Amino acid sequence: MQQQGSKRLKNSRYISGFDGIRTIAVFGVIVYHLLPYSLQGGYLGVPIFFVVSGYLITDLLLQEYEQNGRIDIPAFYGRRMKRLYPALVTMVLTTAAYITLFQRSLFVNLKAIIGTNLLYVYNWWEIGHGQSYFDRFNGESPFTHLWSLSIEASFIFFGRYC
């Protein structure tokens, strides 16, 4: 059962087919990055992953609404942070330490990249600095792919206020 603040969802369910869809999406992205000119459709994995994630998040919110008659947005953000933030912080700090010690060529803007990732606004930072995820493959930052977490946070935030 899925924990929902102080209440538990009664009808929480696991859909195993989504694991297969996510696996295919991730595999497509990995193969695309290994062979970018041989598999032109590899980016299709990113929107597939977003659609599946969006469906699952929406399903959780609908279950909460059906059970409680409302959606506790602060509790939702708290659950997402509790689930995602420890891994994000570990990854960002470990990668930053590695860059500091062994890859000084990637040190440019490291402080800003760390801060924007921890605040879930890295996608906006990249846009503001004229960087495009789709145009870069040489000397790419190990943080490049974290834009997807910022996109998810933007959808959640703007979905709440729009």
DSSP, res 14 = -
For 15, phi then psi, to 5°, come to: -110, 100
Write down the pLDDT at residue 40.
Answer: 65
Name the token pair of 111. 């402080």
Domain regions of the chain by residue span: 1-71, 72-162
Write down the pLDDT at residue 76.
Answer: 83
Write down the pLDDT at residue 6.
Answer: 45
Q: Which of 15, 52, 48, 16 is nearest to 29 (CA)?
A: 48
Write down the pLDDT at residue 60.
Answer: 85
| Per-residue tens of pLDDT for the chain, all 162 residues | 444 444 555 556 777 888 888 888 888 777 777 776 776 666 677 788 888 888 888 888 889 999 999 988 888 878 888 888 899 999 999 999 999 998 888 888 899 999 999 988 888 888 888 776 666 555 567 777 787 788 777 776 666 555
Neighbours of 92 (CB within 10 A): 19
Cα 108 to Cα 134: distance, rounded to the nearest angstrom: 20
Cα 19 to Cα 148: distance, rounded to the nearest angstrom: 19
For 128, phi then psi, to 5°, come to: -65, -25
Q: Which of 64, 54, 79, 78 is nearest to 159 (CA)?
A: 54
Name the token pair of 70. 């409302």
